[in-house]
Structure formats: C-alpha cells, structure tokens
Structure 1
Amino acid sequence: MKEIIKINLDNEMDLILAHKRCMKIAEMCGMPSSFQTRFSTAVSEIARCSIAKGKNSLLVLGINVIKATQKEIIAIITDTVDLKNCNPEAFNYASKISGNIEYSYLNNQSTTRISQPVASPGLLSETKIKGFIDYFKYEPPLSPYDEIRKKNIELIALSEKLAESENKYKQLANTIPILICVINERNNVLLTNESLEHYLEVPILAFDKKNLSNFIHPDDIDGILEGWKIAKSKRSEFLGETRIKYGLSYIWHLISIMPNKAEDGTFNSWLVYFVDINAQKMVVETLKDNTELKVIQRELESANLKLVFKNKELEQFAYIASHDLQEPLRKIMIMLSRAGEHLSEDQRKLYYFDRITMAAGRLSNLITDVLNYSRIDNKKQIFEEVDLNQTLSEILGDLSLVIEEKNAIIEIKSLPTVLGLDTQLRQLFYNLVNNALKFNTAVPVVTISASNINEDNNVSSPENYHIISIADNGIGMDSQYSGRIFDMFQRLHERDQYGGNGIGLALCRRIIENHNGVINFTSKPGEGTIFWIYLPKK
C-alpha cells in the first residue's frame, strides 16, 4: 500500500477530518458520489468507535496497487483496544455499508481494514498517486483546528528527529575511544561521556587540582591548569600532553580544551577531549633511544679504533724495546763472563760478579716475558684442533730435567682435543705445570685431568666447556689473593724463596681470554692448588 495521509483519532474534530479526507481521496480516484459516501461513512463509523472506546488510535489512508488493472482505496485503523468487542454494532453497520471490511486483534493490537475498489484503475498512474500525497501535504487547513493540528504534527516530527539526532550523537560520543567532558566557566563538570566514566575510578565533578589529582599524573597537573587558565582568558584553544592513570600505570593522552560555541557564536561551556597517544609516544621514545644508541655506538667504534691503533703502537713499542734492550744486555753479560775468567773466587765475591750476573739474567728473563705477553693476539690467527694429550707430552719433555731433579710424579689422564692456538695453549700449560713443580717443598705430585663437573661453582653452563684441572700438592695460597694472582708482576713470595717475574699467570689469563674461556683456582695454604681451565667446545 502507498500511504497518502495519516490522521490521529483523538476527538470529534479528527472524526470530521477523517470523513472529509476519505471523501476527497475517493473523489480524486474518480469514484461516483454514492461510493464516495458509502466508503467515507464506513470509515467514519469505525473512527467514531475508536475515538469513543479506543486508545492511541491512528487512521492511515492509502492506495493499494494489486496490479496495473486492479487498484483500491485502503483505510486502516489501528488501536491498542479490541474495538470490535467494545462496539460490535458499529462494525455490523460499517459492514453493511461497505461490504469490504476486515478485522483482527493480535498482540494487544486491533487492525481494521476497509477497502473500496477503484472503478478506473488505469487512470491512477504512479505520478498521479504521488500528486495525491503532495496535495494533502500542502493542502490548506480546513479549519483553525486543522491548522493547529498540522503545526503540532510538524513540531512532533521535528522533536522526534531532534531526539533521534541527539541519541545518535550521544551514542557516537559514548562509543568512540575518546574521553570527553564538558565544563563551564566556574570549572564545574556538566557532562561526561561513558568512555571517561568507565576510565575513571572516581567521578570527576570539577576541573580543578583536587579532582584532576585523582587520575592525572602529579607532574602534569600544573601545566594543564595553566593552559586552562590561558584558554579561558583568551577564549582560545589549549593543546597539551598528559598522563592519565590506568590501573597501576599511566597512559599518555593528548588533551584538547576548546570553546563550545552555539550557532550565534556565543558560548558558556568548554569541551575537553583526551585522546590516547601512548603508542605514538612509545614509538617516538624508541626512535629517540635508538638515535642516542647509534651516537653511542659511533663513539664506541671511534674509541675502539683508537684503542686498536694504540695497542698496535704498544705492541710495536714492546717488541722494539725488548729487542733493543736485549742486545746491550747480552753484551754486558758476555763482557762480565770474560772479565770474570781471570778473577779468583774471592775477587769475584769482592766485585759482586755473581750478583751482577744473576741480576742481568733476571732482567733478560723479564724482557722475554714482557715480549711474550705483548705478542698474545689471536685476531690474526686461525683456531685449529689441538690434541692436549700430545701438547702435555711435549711439555713434560721440556721440563724433564726439573722433573728428574725433584723426583716429581706427573699423572696425565685422558684429555680432549680442543679448538685453539697450539703455541699459546702450549705456553699456558707449560706455565701452570712449571708453577706446580716450582712452588713445592715436598716431592711434587701433579695430576692433569678432564672433567664435566663444575667443581669451583664459578662458571655458568659448564656443559658448553671442556673443563681441565691441574692439581698439585704444593705450598698453596690463601683465598685473599684470588683477586690479584692473575695481575702483572704480582708475587706472593720473596724472590730468594721462589724465582719468577710475576708475569706467568697474567700470561695464562690473557691466553684464556683469547680463547673465550675462563681460568679459576681453588687452594689452601699447605694443601696444594687446583687450577680450573674452561675452553669452549664451539
């Protein structure tokens, strides 16, 4: 059905309007006068019953297009009351007059449908039906009541549209992920959207320090209030950043305070928006940190290049100095030897020949040790597989005279093959075995073995290392020296007790560091020492 006009059935004036408009539609459809009267009277009879007995009654007049050659005028009266049960006589009378009346009452809704076929359906085109709608839309009032009624209908329609629009805007304001509130000139909060209400643990009643401290970071409150003060005085917008409390943390938001202007340009309230910018803030901070990190990295690279250059200079200096020092020292030792050939034993003691010769020898050894220490550098060498069993066998051959002299007992258990530099590893184990023989007042007993147990408890993930131990029954040392035993020129005993320059263990540590390993020891005075060597498996 194509609706032409609606009429609310409230009083007798509406009954008159209903009758006249039924007559007019029937006339516009080309019905004879008798059919116009019969249709309008039937509709009026039911309309009178609705006004008298009904509630919330509505009459809708329209044209039903069944097909191009079959059309009818339709009057539908709806009500929340069972009209036919209230006044069956009225329905019987309307049925006699019209003959085309249907009635139903379902779900507390009564519907009365009265129809009248159009005699010349071909004359009712779509354009003409639209003309009917426009006619009643712009029809002059039939009476002052009709004019007032039309105005009321228009006002109601406008009010409904306004309410619908307000609901849409309210729904939009409540669903968007922006925290919104409205404040007046006296700092009172007039309105908040649901997003802000759900976000806050305590309702915000005023835009002041006391209320803001419930959810704004303490360091940001003064800045917001100062911006709000300037915005009020200049009638301008304020933009800033702040941190809003969310649980136990704070989330960065963009805050915007702007005048809430009316259509005439005046305003008496302010809109406050909080927009989450925490993700953007974190990106900016990350980029900033990354930039600072790159600067630090460049500075470290520059410093490293300088350090490499200085180390090269130091290495060259150590080599040149050692070579240049050794040459005159050798000449001094040769001349001392020749000069002493013609001296008696008393004369040699008188002129301290033996002491001078020993001092020159110690100086020569010291220069050699310093040169060896400066040459420890694995950057130019390639790691290869080194069989430690063969290495220890060769070292024992080098130390055979000392071993025989002291009747030392050396026990070597099966050792692994490791990745490393053969010359450096040979120097490492030579120094440690030599120390075990040297720092001993009894018959030396030295045990060299491999283990998978991290007995010194100072290395994490021992499964990633070959663990080699060198245990002796020597003089041992106190744990108080553990922090400096591997330092250059560190001696725990007088030179006349035990020889050496205090470089051997420093050289061992440097070799181990070149192999990305670890060296530790466990020891007690008088009970011997165990050195633990950790060499990476990969």
Structure 2
Amino acid sequence: MKEIIKINLDNEMDLILAHKRCMKIAEMCGMASSFQTRFATAVSEIARCSIAKGKNSVLVLGVNIIKSTQKEVAAIITDSVDLKNCNPEAFIYASKISNNMEYSYSNNQSITRISQPIASPGLLSETKIKSLIDYFKFEPPLSPYDEIRKKNIELIALSEKLTESENKYKQLANTLPILICIINERNNVLLVNESLENFLAKPLLNFDRKSLHSFIHPDDIDVILDGWSKAKRNHTVFFGETRIKNASDYTWHLVSITPNKAEDGTFNSWLVYFVDISAQKMVVETLKNNSELKMIQHELESANSKLRFKNKELEQFAYIASHDLQEPLRKIMIMLSRAGEHLSEDQRKQYYFDRITLAAGRLSNLIADVLNYSRIENKEQYFEEVDLNNVLLQVQSDLSMVIEEKNAIINVDPLPKVLGLDTQLGQLFYNLINNALKFNSTQPTVTISYGDIPKDETLVVNPENYEVISIADNGIGMDNKYSARIFDMFQRLHERDQYGGNGIGLALCRRIIENHNGLINFNSTPDEGTIFWIYLPKNKVSSPKILN
C-alpha cells in the first residue's frame, strides 16, 4: 500500500481530522459521494472505538494497487488492545457500512483494515498518488489544533535529532584514550569524557587553581593557568607539559587548550585534553646519556609529528561538535516560537512552555552576547570619519519602542565627528543608553553632553586631546566600590528577576573603547543616577596615557 498520511489517534480532535482526511482522499481518488461517506463513517467508527478503548492507536490512509486495473483506498488502524473484543457493536456497525473490512489480533496488536474500490482505477497513476502525498504533506492546517499538532511533531523530531547528535559526540569523546574536558570563559567545565571521569577521584566542575590542585603537580599549575589565560585572551592554542597524579605517582602528560571555533569564526568554549607522554619522557631521559639510541629519538620525533596531526584532527572534531550542538538550538528556538502561537495560557502552563521558551531564549541571548564580545577586534586600519550625531539618531530609532514605553526623556547635545568604526560606536552608545533606560525605577531622563571635562578628572593626561562625551541618567545608580568589577565579563549587580541581561554589555563597551584608543570612566550614586565619561582621541592617538 502507498501510504498517503498517518494520524495518531489520541483525542476527539484526532477523530475529526481522521474523518475529514478520509473524505478528502476518497474525493481526490474519484470515489462517488455516497461511497465517500460510507468509507469515512466506517473508519470514524473504528477510530472512535480506538480513542475510547485503545492504546497507542495509529491510523494510516493510503492507496492499494492490486493491479493496474484494480485499485482501492484503504485505511489501516493498529492498536495494542483487542479493539473488537472491547466494543463488538462498533465493529458490527462498521462492517454493515463497509463490505470490505478485515480484523485480526495477535502478539498484542490489533489490525483493522477498511477499503473501498476505486471506480476509475486507470486515472489513479503513480504521478497522481505522488500528488496526493504532497498535498497532505503541505496541506494548510485544518484548525489551530492541527497546526499545533504538526508543530509539536516537528519539534519532537528536532529534539530527537539533537539527542542523537549529542549521543554521537559523547560516544566519540568517550572512545578516545585521552583525558578530555570542555570549558567556557568563566572556567566552568561543560563536559568531561569517561576517561577523565574515571581518572579523577571526584567530579571536575571548574577549571581553576583549587580544582587543578587535586590532580595536577603543584609546580605545574601556574604554567597551565598562564596558558589558559593567554588562550582566552588571544583565542590561540596553548601546548604544554604537566604531571598528573595517578594512583601511586605523577605521570607526564601533554596538555592542549584549543578554542572551539564556530562557523562564523567566533569562540564560546575551549577543548582541553591531556595525552600520556610518560613513555616519551622516559626515552628522552635515556637519550641524554646513550648516543646509541639516536634512532629511537628519530622514531619519537615521528610519533610527535603524528601527535601534532592528531591535535589538528581534534581541533576539527571540536569544531564539528560545536556546530552540531548549536545548530539544533537555533532550529528549536524557531519551532518553539511557531508551536506557541496558538497555545492557550493553560496549555502553556501545563507543558511548561513559557519556562522552556525563557530558558532557550536566555541561552540564545547568552550565546549571542558572547559571540558579539568575541567579534570585537581592533580594526584601526579601517577607521573612517564617523558623525556621532548620525550614530545617536540610529540608536534612538533602535530604542524607540523602549523610549516610548517608559516615556523617557532623551537630551542630546550636538556631537563631534571622530575616527572609528560606526558599527562599534553604535553598539557602544546603544548599550549605555539601554542600560540607562533599563536600570531605572522612575521616568528615565538621559542627557548626552559634549565637551564638559569633569572637574576632578584624574584618569588621563591632557584630556584636551580627547573628545569627551558624557551620558548621564537618573536611574538606580550603584556604589562606586564596584568600579573594578562592572566592566568585567558576566558581572551582575542585581538578581536576574529584577533586571535582565547577561553582564556582558559594559565589558563590550570597554573593549570597543580600547579598540578606538580611548577610555571610559563613570561616577554613580545609589538611587540618584550614573554618569559615564567617554574619551575618544581627536586624532589617532597610539594609546591613552593613564595617570596612576
């Protein structure tokens, strides 16, 4: 039988879908109206019984080609319950309506088959059958329920693909005879393979001094932490050697910290692995006092070359793994959005839909923020003259809905032209003004001034060489004791349920300012407001001179 469509029989809405689609298939196959009704009614009667008494019920509608001159529309209902024994009256009634009905039950599965011959079988060609399949595949939803049902099926399929991808990744990582973990920029361990789990006496949660001290030789910890710091800062690979504690002694391992590079060239995690090189170390020590073993040294170099090749393979492996895990997240976000369009409030609560959407959105925003931060690079060689007035107009346009919602007052002085990158400068002003609007419990007032140098300025030498711009607000403010923290990644001074965000915005601002050879400072008073001072060179200053 050529399958046209499959329907899971779970509730009364599925019964309506089954009847409508039976009628539609019969009609499209050229069946007479009276036979369409008889066929659809017989199928509906058994489907009703299956929904009421059955379990794991599935209806398959299709076309059965007996021979070129004999074809029929068929419906097959399978169930794990003996439906006929549960409701014999329904089967008696259905068999009276349709003379072509068969039933069997064995191995805990019942099969009900209802068919109706087609009057003009020659018109039902392979092309016609394919068009039927395509019609129901791309058929517009019959109702909001039908649309939600389709979206949920697609979402489940995407979730299964994500799980399959994760399982393949874990299986590959666990089969390697290497100690592997993946960490993020905040030193949190995201993944540990079985080799490392079995090696350690307790779980590895953080890649910091305290955790490393439990299995790394104390003399080697600073080397690894310095290498990790450089790898994060420069997005480069770090190679080193360290001694790892086993059951009785320390053994030498090659340690590698490699950035996980995404398709767009950004980084959001690092692959760390340890390879046992204790045998190579023993050979090296022997070669120091035995010239006859020079050939062994050559073989060792060959082995090291192969190891470097394996390192490249692991880099590629990390890239593929990162892509495979991120791509389904983007698809799931899309399907979540579509699936929630017609859900009622009760349905959203019942299926924790809002929590799932919020969690997925928060993860998506976090990835986007980290990617934005990693993309900011020094592009001084491409600096062009940028009119900050145009930049501010665009920023106000982007924030127009928030400004209107909060009835905010934005005061802007005429601003100068500077050398820089308009996209980065737009991001700078967007983050600072957006913070002024967000961290505010009253009607926001934001004042953007130009040319006023703070009276107690002690940050730079010769401030007159800079275009000085201030952004002042009447928001909730903060204690100046946090001045050393607020420009760091993932620093938040408030709970997430009070004010949103991931603590990356001000770190992004500082990086943009540094790319433009400038400086940023602030002064704030709790419950009174905050003023940020931005210094941008009037000419291309090589680097700002900071007063101690």
Q: Return the TM-score normalized by structure 2.
A: 0.47
- Which structure is richer in relative contact order (CA contacts within 8 A, separation 6 or more)? 2
TM-score by length of 1: 0.48
